[in-house]
Amino acid sequence: MTHSPFINVDSFMAELKAKNQAEPEFHQAVHEVVLSLAEFLNENPKYQKAGILDRIVEAERVIMFRIPWLDDKGNMCVNRGFRIEMNSAIGPYKGGLRFHPTVNLGILKFLAFEQVFKNSLTTLPMGGGKGGSDFDPKGKTDNEVMRFCQSFMTELYRHIGPNTDVPAGDIGVGGREIGFLFGQYKRIANEFTGILTGKGINWGGSLIRPEATGYGNVYFAKEMLATKGDSFKGKTVLVSGSGNVAQYTVEKVIELEGKVVTLSDSSGYIYDPAGIDTEKLEWVMELKNIKRGRISEYAEKYGVKFIKGGRPWGEKGDIALPSATQNEIEEQDALTLVKNGCICVSEGANMPSTPDAIEVYIEKKILYGPGKAANAGGVAVSGLEMTQNSMRLGWTREEVDQRLQVIMKDIHSTCIQYGKKDNGFVNYMDGANIGGFVKVADAMISQGAV
């Protein structure tokens, strides 16, 4: 690639696409960042002179491997495993593992790329990485999931370490999977170290880690609302997903006296106009985390509507907190949200809004918290889990939650610092992209040709 001091976004993207073919999500994530950075880079030519942009879109290392495992009937199955070690300028690679049939190289590269900026925003010393497999945990028994996790770790263990690369959970990887992965690492390496986060509380985990992404997103949205003198109190909230992030989002919204009326999974969404209260949430947690059932069962249990194959964005709500997956809000959804009076979209999921949807939020000047800022609470508490592991100490719930709140406030301030426009409008997307970039880019310059 060229090293002109001035960036031409179109030619940069054309080259990136030619080099990384058939990876549309990776192109999308990079394009958003490059658009945010263009003016900043032109004003600060040292970054282009040092080739930072060309380097930051290139993974330091990509690992791809075979995962053979036996199902309960004794059939030989094979899946593909990945770990993208994207950037270690400010700390060991850090980021989740996703087990989902849609997983491929491009999706994990987009997630690893986002993670670099997100981790930088947390203020903690963590580089960026992501990994996973196209394994589908749905319909598998606990024993099958265990054998799969053991096979996955049998290869992954040689690439990770507490000062090298520290994976965690993401879609399809929760407490159960982290347990099986950790157990296998310990057997192979013969050492008990913090090579994963999201561990169980009795074996090196941190309090608040399961809650952290959902809580953090609500804290971030709370900060955005406060800039308008507003709050969650009395607001109707649309949440998508019904997994880890969605569940603790609902818990925190209830605490702040908002009313969540939707949840979803890949089969459709439920609409509960009375609101999901603590008791119903507990039922959802049991349904999803233990029985591993479908959200449609909520509609049967509580006599509300279930919209098969639908997403919640057509319902009336003041605040939307997408917490399922990428590209789940498209332009038309965004227009409908705004038309129905939505004043704030804050992303618990990674890249849940398409570029056209984001354009709608910005044009209509609603509060928009991009995932790499708004959902950074999860990895931030992972960082705090690493700190506790290093000290061989455990902090109380209150201590971790307090630190999480401070971190989310800091991220919000960083977004304002880098995203406030001359007319006073805060573009949180630009703020997060530039704010996340600067620390990593400066570290790369200091470290030379790495």
Using CB under 6 A, pick the residue from 20, 122, 184, 197 that binds ligand 2IT: 197
Question: How many other CB atoms sit within 10 Å of the CB of residue 34?
Answer: 20
* Residue 25 binds ligand NDP (CB under 6 A): no
Using CB under 6 A, pick the residue from 129, 172, 205, 370 that binds ligand NDP: 172
Using DSSP bridges, classify how beta strands 236-239 and 259-265 pair: parallel, antiparallel or unpaired. parallel
Asked if 166 and 197 count as a contact pair (C-beta separation under 8 A), the reply is yes
State the helix-helix crossing angle for 397-419 and 377-391, rounded to 10 degrees. Answer: 130
Instruction: Choose from ligand 2IT, ligand NDP, none: what does 349 bind? Cβ within 5-8 Å by kind.
Output: ligand NDP
Using CB under 6 A, pick the residue from 23, 144, 170, 223 that binds ligand NDP: 170
* Residue 357 binds ligand NDP (CB under 6 A): no
Footprint of ligand NDP on 304-343 (CB under 6 A): 323-325
Asked if 348 and 214 count as a contact pair (C-beta separation under 8 A), the reply is yes
Strands (E), 16-106: 61-70, 76-87, 93-99
Footprint of ligand NDP on 225-264 (CB under 6 A): 241-246
Q: How many residues bind ligand 2IT (CB under 6 A)?
A: 12
Token duo for residue 158: 């040689």
Q: How many residues bind ligand NDP (CB under 6 A)?
A: 23
**CB closer to ligand 2IT out of 94 and 235:** 94
* Residue 360 binds ligand 2IT (CB under 6 A): no
Lay out the sheet containing 305-308: strands in order across. Answer: 305-308, 268-271, 259-265, 236-239, 319-321, 344-346, 367-369
Among 322, 351, 353, CA closest to 335: 353
What residue is closest to ligand NDP based on CB?
243
Using CB under 6 A, pick the residue from 32, 37, 67, 94 that binds ligand 2IT: 94
Does residue 130 have an active-site annotation? Answer: yes
Give the integer Cα–Cα distance in Å for 218 and 190.
40
* Residue 350 binds ligand 2IT (CB under 6 A): yes
Give the integer Cα–Cα distance in Å for 51 and 445.
9
* Residue 184 binds ligand NDP (CB under 6 A): no
Using the rule CB under 6 A, give the single segment among 72-80, 88-96, 405-413, 418-426 that binds ligand 2IT: 88-96
> Catalytic pick from 130, 199, 252, 439?
130
Alpha helix locations (H) across 344-419? Answer: 355-363, 371-374, 377-391, 397-419
Binding site for ligand NDP (CB under 6 A): 169-172, 174, 213, 241-246, 265-267, 323-325, 348-350, 375, 378
Footprint on this chain of ligand 2IT (rule: CB under 6 A):
94-96, 115, 118, 168, 170, 197, 350, 378-379, 382
